[in-house]
Amino acid sequence: MLRTHTCGELNRAMVSQQVVLAGWVFSVRDHGSLKFIDLRDRSGVIQLVCSPGEMSPELVFRVNQLRDEWVVQVKGTVVLRPPETVNPRIPTGEIEVKISDLLILNSCQTLPFELSSPVQTGETIRLVYRFLDLRRPQLQKNLLVRSSFVHVLREFLIEEGFAEIETPMLTKSTPEGARDFIVPSRLNPGRFYALPQSPQLFKQLLMVAGYDRYFQIARCFRDEDLRADRQPEFTQVDLEMSFVDEDDVMSLTERLLHRAIKKTFNVELKIPFPRINYQQAIDHYGTDKPDLRYHLTIHDYTPVFQTSQVEVLKKALQAGGVVRGFTVAEGEKISATDIQEFDRLVKERGQTGLGWIRFRQDGLQSPLKKFLEAETLQALRPEPGSKNTLFFFLAGAREKIAAVLGELRTTVAEKLYRLDPYDWRFCWVVKFPLLEFDPEGRRWQSRHHPFTSPFPATIEALDGKPEEITSRAYDLVLNGTEIGGGSIRIHQRALQEKIFEIIGLPREKYLKQFGFLLEALDCGAPPHGGIALGLDRLMMLLLGVSSIREVMAFPKTQKGVCLMTGAPGEVDEILLRENRLRVELPQKSEQ
């Protein structure tokens, strides 16, 4: 080893010990008779002190050459700092190392940006020099916490009897609702592998093969539009279990997160997590990813407006619609300008306008004031004693207004509260519809993936009313973001074939694409189910950062480009020829 200790592990108890350290020069300060160097490695920073008067000319020469980010090995003695120079902000702030020798291991060119002030540096340049960006203590912390978290996950799952098994990267399409990334096969001209959107089918086959409990920290690939919480390749904590029902998978996941969060963040999660039915989530929060850090619960007010003479409301109710809304008890925190902004939002989402009533002790305000009946107001009036209560509402088709109210609820909450990213509110959303209607394709499609089992009680509906089939799927939500999902699977061939038919897959197509799965289900497949957690998103939320790029070592841009390596790149003509590929780029005018 080039060192006896790391910088961060030195402490007061080691005073007068001889140590050898290696690391990067973080900064150099010249005080004339003394020179101070901050030496950094992954574990922390230690101050080195050199007094040129006591050093050989050659050593002085070497020390004088040092610049930021040069790599050095130093020998020295741990000493206490004089009391007036103690730095309580860093763990090694009580001591320093008086150097007796220094070896330059490598130099460093002038950096394209300062590591100590990343905020002023644009993200593009930081991604081009990601290897430098990754030296920043904040990023190092994120990746190291992620590493410890994964370590605990592995430990827990192994204790629970899971086997870690890898599944192929070069495979066939697994439908998870995104476009596949494809890889040409040189040995089979004209044929392509798909990179896995998830290990879904393989983990099910491992259950058929009798492995009982599988897990994998699995890389998945989905070619879809990217956002702050989406990357083309990402990591899932993927698991599958045999002979289980929903409660088993959900309770295991709760214990897994409880352990990992306790060990990594020293926070005790309250388990079990609340469970919310899909329809309840849509009705009360306007979304199937509810943020439970605040209330602002949406309720039905249709009966209250039943006899309303307000034209828009009358029309909506006659068309079979509903009136739904929510109340803000802290109305004084919402200004008239805020309300205009909310009104704009709902109009952008296709609504005629936002209904609102402000109840104050000295009277009420509302654009509909003249038209509202006494009974309506009586029914809506807040508790006596409340000073300023705002009631927001929309009228229209139930499903349509739910999403708009959900968005409004989030926008209002952002205005009202300073939401704490470390107030972790997990919940399960269950009892999803199995299928949804795709108006463009004019056909039913799976809400999760087509291997999700319907509830036995709703299987009869398969033959007539697909909209009434409920699935055995469960989604895990944290503070308004979906961080995982899974289901109990179909384990019988006949039912699996029936689902393929309902979603409009012709027999020859599903036999070609999923024949191996159907065969396997026919060969004694056990009942099974599982879940996958999005590790990047989960770490992003737990670390309180706003992008998954902050928790991944080498992320890509919104356009799927790695600015450091230049991927995706062009390939050699020979390689194209070997793969029997010809590239036809669109004309400029077509682009």
Give the span between the Cα atoms of 343 and 335, in whole angstroms: 12
Residues with Cβ < 8 Å from 27, sequence gap 6 or more? 37, 38, 68, 116
- The piece of 97-105, 375-383, 387-395, 526-534 that touches ligand ASP (CB under 6 A) is 526-534
Does residue 253 interact with ligand ASP by CB under 6 A?
Answer: no
Tell which one of 207, 434, 532, 535 touches ligand ASP (CB under 6 A). Answer: 532
Does residue 200 interact with ligand ASP by CB under 6 A?
Answer: yes
| Bridge partner residues of 49 (DSSP) | 36, 98
Give the span between the Cα atoms of 236 and 200, in whole angstroms: 11
With residue 250 as reference, give the H or E element that holds it: helix 246-265
Cβ distance to ligand ASP smaller for residue 35 or 447: 447
Provide the H-helix boundaries in 129-245.
130-133, 137-159, 200-208
HSE of 347 in the Cβ direction (CA atoms, 13 Å)?
Answer: 8
Cβ distance to ligand ASP smaller for residue 204 or 389: 204
- What residues from 161 to 190 belong to the interface with ligand ASP (CB under 6 A)? 176
- The piece of 33-41, 250-258, 312-320, 528-536 that touches ligand ASP (CB under 6 A) is 528-536
Does residue 25 interact with ligand ASP by CB under 6 A?
Answer: no
- With contacts defined by CB under 6 A, how many residues of the chain interact with ligand ASP? 9
Cβ distance to ligand ASP smaller for residue 322 or 525: 525
Residues with Cβ < 8 Å from 160, sequence gap 6 or more? 213, 252
Query: Residue holding tokens 């509260």?
Result: 417
Residues with Cβ < 8 Å from 237, sequence gap 6 or more? 150, 153, 215, 217, 218, 484, 532, 533, 535
Give the span between the Cα atoms of 273 and 269, in whole angstroms: 9
Strand pairing category for 355-360 and 275-277: unpaired
- The piece of 105-113, 282-290, 402-410, 484-492 that touches ligand ASP (CB under 6 A) is 484-492
Query: Residue holding tokens 């990357």?
Result: 231
Least Å from the CB of residue 238 to ligand ASP: 6
Asked if omega into 274 is within 30° of 0 (cis), the reply is no
Cβ distance to ligand ASP smaller for residue 502 or 532: 532
Does residue 453 interact with ligand ASP by CB under 6 A?
Answer: no
Does residue 469 interact with ligand ASP by CB under 6 A?
Answer: no
Does residue 531 interact with ligand ASP by CB under 6 A?
Answer: yes
Token pair belonging to 163: 């086997």
Q: Phi/psi of residue 515, each to 5°? A: -55, -40
Cβ distance to ligand ASP smaller for residue 422 or 516: 516
Convert residues 389-428 into a mask of x (bound to ligand ASP by CB under 6 A) and - (unbound).
----------------------------------------
Cβ distance to ligand ASP smaller for residue 286 or 485: 485
Does residue 485 interact with ligand ASP by CB under 6 A?
Answer: yes
- The piece of 11-19, 267-275, 361-369, 481-489 that touches ligand ASP (CB under 6 A) is 481-489
Cβ distance to ligand ASP smaller for residue 205 or 346: 205
Asked if omega into 82 is within 30° of 0 (cis), the reply is no
Token pair belonging to 456: 């036995």
Does residue 229 interact with ligand ASP by CB under 6 A?
Answer: no
CB contact at 8 A, 557 and 536: no
CB contact at 8 A, 544 and 421: yes
Does residue 486 interact with ligand ASP by CB under 6 A?
Answer: yes
Tell which one of 23, 331, 433, 530 touches ligand ASP (CB under 6 A). Answer: 530
Of the candidates 552, 562, 522, the one whose C-alpha atom is nearest the C-alpha of residue 234 is 552
Give whole-number Cα distances, 172 to 168, 175, 186, 270, 449, in Å: 9, 10, 16, 40, 15
- The piece of 333-341, 391-399, 527-535, 561-569 that touches ligand ASP (CB under 6 A) is 527-535
Using the CB atoms, write b or e for 526-558: b if 16+ within 10 Å: ebbbbbbbbbbbbbbbbbebeebbbbbeebbee
Does residue 102 interact with ligand ASP by CB under 6 A?
Answer: no
Give the span between the Cα atoms of 392 and 325, in whole angstroms: 5
- What residues from 38 to 77 belong to the interface with ligand ASP (CB under 6 A)? none
Least Å from the CB of residue 567 to ligand ASP: 24
Least Å from the CB of residue 202 to ligand ASP: 10
Least Å from the CB of residue 471 to ligand ASP: 11
Cβ distance to ligand ASP smaller for residue 176 or 180: 176
Give the span between the Cα atoms of 111 and 212, in whole angstroms: 52
Cβ distance to ligand ASP smaller for residue 355 or 486: 486
Q: Which residues bind ligand ASP (CB under 6 A)?
A: 176, 198, 200, 485-487, 530-532
